[in-house]
Amino acid sequence: MSAYKHDFVEFALASQVLCFGEFTTKAGRLSPYFFNAGLFNDGAKLKRLGEFYAQAILASGLAFDMLFGPAYKGIPLAAATAIGLAGAGHNVPFAFNRKEAKDHGEGGTVVGAKLAGRVLIVDDVISAGTSVRESLDLIRAHGATPAGVVIALDRMERGQGSKSAVQEVRDGLGLPVVPVICLDDLVEFLRSDGQYAKELAAVQDYRAQYGA
């Protein structure tokens, strides 16, 4: 596992973004872990989160020209990632959308830089893929090209069928997905730290039952 992935898991644990216990997912499954990106909720955490996103993007080698954050969670994530990339020597523009079009001032639904070139979508997770599909439509409507999606965590579990939500985006939409970490990274982290033996067993059981 890359050093930044290991550090990200530690960061998520320290921020209580990643928790262990019993949590019911939207699909009604009893999950032994929960990831709540909304708890990256102060300036220091958001700055560091953007740096992790930037590291994952640069490590992937994915070619892109700008960032796009889908409303609402993607807005601070795209801004933080743009700052993280700038800190790493890659200054790129970013934009985000409104849920409702503004009928005064500059108008429209897109705020920030003009959507142009290869656009990388920044979000927290991919659940049903609805946000990604809406973003694709908007990006293409402005004459730009979707470059891929970057997310914090790929849970690697089945959706309605045999594939995960991330696999459905990759295969169904032909779009690269770059996670900062995936469930396999979490398992590797837990395995490397003896204090998480109980959590490791629970996560592995869940992966065996619901993994894609």
Who wins on pLDDT, 129 or 206?
Answer: 206
Please confirm, yes or no, whether 102 is among the known catalytic residues: yes
pLDDT digits over 78-107, tens only?
Answer: 999 999 999 999 999 999 998 776 555 555
pLDDT digits over 111-127, tens only?
Answer: 999 999 999 999 999 88
pLDDT digits over 38-67, tens only?
Answer: 999 999 999 999 999 999 999 999 999 999
Average pLDDT of the chain is 94
- Domains of the chain and CATH, by start: 3-210 (3.40.50.2020)
Q: What is the predicted pLDDT for the residue at 103?
A: 57
62 backbone dihedrals φ, ψ, rounded to 5°: -65, 135
Q: What is the predicted pLDDT for the residue at 108?
A: 74
The answer to whether residues 131 and 88 touch, using CB atoms and an 8 Å cutoff, is no
| Closest to 185 measured CA to CA, from 200, 170, 164 | 200
pLDDT digits over 130-172, tens only?
Answer: 889 999 999 999 999 999 999 999 999 998 788 998 999 999 9
Considering the candidates 26, 47, 90, 104, report the single residue annotated as catalytic. Answer: 104
Q: Which amino acid is at 102?
A: K
The answer to whether residues 13 and 190 touch, using CB atoms and an 8 Å cutoff, is no
Considering the candidates 6, 47, 102, 163, report the single residue annotated as catalytic. Answer: 102
State the CB neighbour count (10 A cutoff) for residue 152: 23
Alpha-carbon distance of 179 to 144, in angstroms, equals 23
Please confirm, yes or no, whether 104 is among the known catalytic residues: yes
Alpha-carbon distance of 27 to 21, in angstroms, equals 17
List, in sequence order, every residue forming a beta bridge with 118; answer none if it has no partner: 145
The answer to whether residues 122 and 68 touch, using CB atoms and an 8 Å cutoff, is yes
